[in-house]
A and B are shown apart, each in its own frame.
Chain A
Amino acid sequence: MKERSPQRNKSTQRREPGWVIFKDLLSRLRDRPALTYLVIFIVVMTASLLMVPAVRSGNQTLPAGLLLLVILANLLSLFF
């Protein structure tokens, strides 16, 4: 049997913890769906509302960051 190269093992070890942490976090959140929904709801509503002053400030990064936050919250909803 062909032995795995040390380099490949190293990269697998590096990737695995991140994925495991994400899965663990998801399963913890799934145990508390109401709380998770509440957090998603508050994040989406607050970030959306803050987009108006952010755009009016003339800054491009701030509204883009808030939009990203809303998108990420919706991405999280996909797992519930």
Chain B
Amino acid sequence: MNFTLALAPIIIILLLMVGFRWKASRAGAAGYLAAVLIAWFWFEINLPALAYAHAKAVFLILDVLLIIWTAFLLFRVVAEAGGIEVLSRTLPHLTGDKGLQALIIAWAFASFLQGVGGFGVPTAVIAPLLVGLGFSPLLAVVLPSLGHTWAVTFGSLGASFNAMMAVTGLDWPTLARPAALYLGIVGIWAGVTVALAYGGWKTLIRLWLPIGVIGLSMSAAQYLTVSHGFWNIGGLMGGTAGLLVGIPLAWFMNHNQEADQDFPWRELLIALAGYGVLVTLTLLIQLIPGLKPFLNQVKIGLDFPATITGRGFAVPAGPGRQLYILSHAGMILLLSSAAAYLIFQAAGWYHPGALRRILQSTGQRVIGSSVSITSIVMMAVIMTQAGMTDALAKGFSSALGWFYPLAAPWIGALGAIMTGSNANSNLIFSALQMKTAELLGLPAAFILAAQTTGGAIGSVAAPTKVIVGAITAGMEGREGEILRKKLPYIALLLLITSLITFLAVRWI
């Protein structure tokens, strides 16, 4: 009974979003209300514990939202100036080989876009571009969806990874390396699935070399970046490495000479300026001795006392999530947005009223998801404070035992498919996955790596993303067709993640 009731808020969210097609903000509110009622009446949480859970959630929410708000702001600053269009126009100049175009655009460029933007941007930008290059609308949606899966967790300036750190209370040195390792392996396989989906085994065999070289470069770049603490630009650096290696490789393998003279180098450099500022600021804060500790003097947070429920579930006293405002990834993104705006303004790339349009579209786009994230995080923290997450973990560990590592990525994927995002899946399931790993005596970092990798893969099968892809490629009403094409490849990537997790917890 404990297990069933503890699972109820999650089931309610999933059921409402999938069965009744509710938006995440509505379904999240229903999940929150269910969690409060069940925590109060069945798990006997008291008023102070419930109040502290709400306050703890506020800091987690701000931590997550600061990145989401400013990441989207930076993307809008670049998009309003036409920077994304410049990138999209430039890449087809490189090669006439359709298979190579699929790899460079739908894999490397999609990963780059996921690194800087996320929020469904890769498919929305690339699908019309591929249709324009002569790809079928179905492939135009499916290829970038598969290509950017591996860059989701450390993409969107690390929003999903940050969500996992916030909910579990674990820091980046514990979580980043295993997650980057899993995602790196999946990243190479993502290239394989792009080639297979485009042209089957023939294309895969023909393009094995660029797949290997680009895949290894992107995975290595992401791993090295995040394992040195730059987790907020892991996806960006992975995607950039893919472009830096893939573009010369494409020139070398199948040079499109006709387009040579028109290559817009200057425009390309200006378009990328905002992201250059972001990388530079991130590196400066990490590398200049004493700068980060100095900036970290400004922090916001609260200490919380120990609580105990009527059923005897105790949460020890301790600090909640601390927000280091000046060194926060959100602050770096805000400064990068301001710098990028000034650069584009100086280059004369903006039309009158650009700033108003940027702020308006950013506000309208992020406020709905802010409400859904708020209710989902509050639900997750209440469940943890009331002992509901503990009850779920006990149920899963006794039911699955040593086979749990095989199931962990599928749980992450399920959460992402149902809630529409890797970050939401991490917010809902990370605490549960960590607790279950602890009960089974498994290394939590590997199980959480499986959670976020599964979430990243599953997010591209989320109905919301499928619908966005269908609209941008002119395939409205044919969402089922898109999903049918994607599912075998998604299942393959999840099976690979299950296998990696199982081997990792056994032998590493």
Contact = CB atoms under 8 A, between A and B. Distances in A.
A20 interface: no
Contact of B57 (A48, A55, A67): A48
B23 A80 contact: yes
A40 interface: yes
Contacts of A74: 29, 32-33, 375
A54 B51 contact: yes
Contact of B29 (A33, A34, A75): A75
Interface stretch (B278-286, B290-298, B366-374): B366-374
A34 B364 CA distance: 6
Interface in B208-231: none
Nearest to A70: B54
B51 A71 contact: no
Given A34-B363, A48-B378, A67 B368 contact: no
B391 interface: no
Interface in A40-80: 40-41, 44-45, 47-49, 51-52, 54-55, 60, 63-64, 66-67, 70-71, 74-75, 77-80
Nearest to A79: B26
B282 to A, nearest CB: 27
Nearest to B363: A34
A75 B50 contact: no
A51 B30 CA distance: 21
A80 B364 CA distance: 15
Contacts of B304: 52
A41 to B, nearest CB: 5
Interface in A16-52: 33-34, 37-38, 40-41, 44-45, 47-49, 51-52
B364 A44 contact: no
A78 B31 CA distance: 10
A47 to B, nearest CB: 8
B407 interface: no
A77 B371 contact: yes
Interface string B422-434: 0000000000000
A45 B63 CA distance: 13
Contacts of B26: 77-80
Interface residues of A, number: 28
B58 interface: yes
Interface in B371-402: 371, 374-375, 378
A38 B30 CA distance: 18
B324 to A, nearest CB: 18
B36 interface: yes
Contacts, number: 81
Interface in B41-62: 47-48, 50-52, 54-55, 57-58, 61-62
A59 to B, nearest CB: 11
A41 B373 CA distance: 10
A34 B51 contact: no
Nearest to A52: B55
Given A34-B363, A64-B47, A74-B33, A80 B54 contact: no
Nearest to B320: A52
Best-buried of A51, A55, A60, A74 by chain B (most CB within 10 Å): A74
A77 B374 CA distance: 11
Interface string B7-34: 0000000000000000101101110110
A80 B50 contact: no
Contacts of B32: 74
A78 B55 contact: no
A9 B110 CA distance: 64
A80 B375 CA distance: 14
A77 B367 CA distance: 13
15 contacts: A33-B368, A34-B363, A34-B367, A37-B370, A37-B371, A41-B370, A44-B375, A52-B304, A67-B50, A67-B54, A70-B378, A71-B33, A74-B33, A77-B26, A77-B375
Cβ-closest 6 pairs across A and B: A77-B29, A51-B51, A48-B54, A74-B29, A37-B367, A52-B55
Given A71-B36, A78-B26, 7 more contacts: A34-B363, A34-B364, A45-B62, A45-B374, A74-B32, A77-B375, A80-B23
Interface of A: 33-34, 37-38, 40-41, 44-45, 47-49, 51-52, 54-55, 60, 63-64, 66-67, 70-71, 74-75, 77-80
